[in-house]
Structure 1
């Protein structure tokens, strides 16, 4: 990862959603190490304050904290207003969560919240910061977190996979639309990641990449590729499935998810 390139092309400020833990926190640390000032956004303001203090001490950068629920209109407005005075060169849409289990057993309130965070909040950020980047007439970037489950339907994680298909398609389109303005758009599509995601989604993951590896590979690919697949495991999973028809891939992913959600199934009576 070329830190000087990151600072020159995407500084002086980076805005990172979902930065209280996991991939978002890893992005914040690596961008701060490259001497970009960072805006940390997540619901847990107290946790963000501790992350911010650690970054200030270790990397001597400016850090701004925005405690905001991105599933709510007031949360999106808070992000807009509290970053308006900053020269933002990079927007990282890392906030998001997943669910698992049969669609017909879904909690629709939770699924609706996931759509708001994974899709609309991400789109909102792209429009707001994309316009700011274009108006400042300097290079900049947008990073959108996709997933390998977005390449096809994924039974037992159907709505989450659909949100990631949306993100992937949006990133591919924006990359072409915004290229004339000098704005780099990258979709990052990892497989399983060791973070808080699995616990919230009620999945069990036996093998996964680290958030740090995802952030490092993504930042290295920014401005150079349309999509990056971080981690050897993610690459193997993706490239082994892509040659197959989508219907077959969906069946295979259903079996994979069946293993990850096996603990949810009622135990057979003895």
Structure 2
């Protein structure tokens, strides 16, 4: 159990503004709501402007915070630039890079355009925003970065090979930055949940069974910020981790292949 940081300390360290990507739904929306509860103003970014506007108004009315909407497709250079420009005049203390999507199935049978689009959102946009916002946080001497990894990012995962590879990138980037930036006052944590009940499975064409709620990811992740390098939220994630951890890497790859093979069996039927 990770102790909860007092709200005043959280605001001082990570406020007054937070940038949340993928904020229109799922984990990103849950992060935005949790940060507003803690008194942080939020820059909300995703592709769906109407959904962002509705969320922004709800956060203003419910929590009395400021909320700025920056519609952007992070799969494009222009989209990333829009997020950077849309928050340039604000005192940003926290970046939550929760935007992302997945693909599944046999890699060589996938649409290469979809795979490259996923690479742009899950990797390229994360690198650019982490680099840009990270420099701003170092300049102000305090702040935090939350990166969204996945349980599949700790080993190769057949039938989600490229998605797992993008999350391996996020995991290793976050682990290194946790060490690099700590002496400069910036906290970095990677959140690596198992299956989460969002629109992810539908987009990735996967059939998932038990799954975490977005709130079950957000609470432990924010509690771990400044305390841990990696957090694996939820009992389900911890059970899966406990089963995989004793195995050598090659065996974990095989086990995850069987798990993911079951989730994508309908594609081969």
Q: Same fold (TM over 0.5)?
A: yes
Question: Secondary structure of the residue that 2:129 maps to in structure 1?
Answer: helix
Residue of structure 1 equivalent to 2:18: 14
Query: Do residues 121 (structure 1) and 101 (structure 2) align?
Result: no
Q: CA deviation at 1:96?
A: 0.3
Residue of structure 1 equivalent to 2:238: 235
Query: Do residues 248 (structure 1) and 251 (structure 2) align?
Result: yes
In the TM superposition, 1:74-85 aligns within 5 A as: 74-85=78-89
Q: Deviations over 1:118-172 (max 9, x none)?
A: 00100101100000011122x2000000101001000000000000000000001
For this pair of structures, how many residues does the alignment match? 265
* RMSD over aligned Cα atoms: 0.8
Question: Secondary structure of the residue that 1:14 maps to in structure 2?
Answer: strand
Mapped partners of 1:207, 1:4: distance in 2 = 36
Q: Deviations over 1:186-215 (max 9, x none)?
A: 000000000011110111111011001100
Residue in structure 2 matching 1:265, options 256, 265, 268 = 268
Mapped partners of 2:76, 2:17: distance in 1 = 24
Residue of structure 1 equivalent to 2:217: 214
Q: Deviations over 1:44-80 (max 9, x none)?
A: 1111111111111111100000000001000111111
Q: Deviations over 1:209-229 (max 9, x none)?
A: 100110011001000000000
Residue of structure 1 equivalent to 2:41: 37
Residue in structure 1 matching 2:187, options 177, 184, 191 = 184
Query: Do residues 65 (structure 1) and 64 (structure 2) align?
Result: no
Question: Secondary structure of the residue that 2:95 maps to in structure 1?
Answer: strand
Post-superposition, which runs of at least 4 consecutive aligned residues in structure 1 deviate over 2 A?
A: 1-5
Residue of structure 2 equivalent to 1:95: 99
Q: CA deviation at 1:4?
A: 2.7
Mapped partners of 2:125, 2:265: distance in 1 = 31
Residue of structure 1 equivalent to 2:178: 175
Mapped partners of 1:155, 1:4: distance in 2 = 45
Residue in structure 1 matching 2:158, options 155, 176, 182 = 155
Question: Secondary structure of the residue that 1:155 maps to in structure 2?
Answer: coil
Question: Secondary structure of the residue that 1:224 maps to in structure 2?
Answer: coil
Mapped partners of 1:95, 1:131: distance in 2 = 20
Residue of structure 1 equivalent to 2:29: 25
Mapped partners of 1:128, 1:144: distance in 2 = 14
Residue of structure 1 equivalent to 2:149: 146
Mapped partners of 2:261, 2:30: distance in 1 = 29
Question: Secondary structure of the residue that 1:204 maps to in structure 2?
Answer: coil
Gaps of 5+ in 2: none
TM-score if structure 1 supplies the norm length? Answer: 0.97
Gaps of 5+ in 1: none
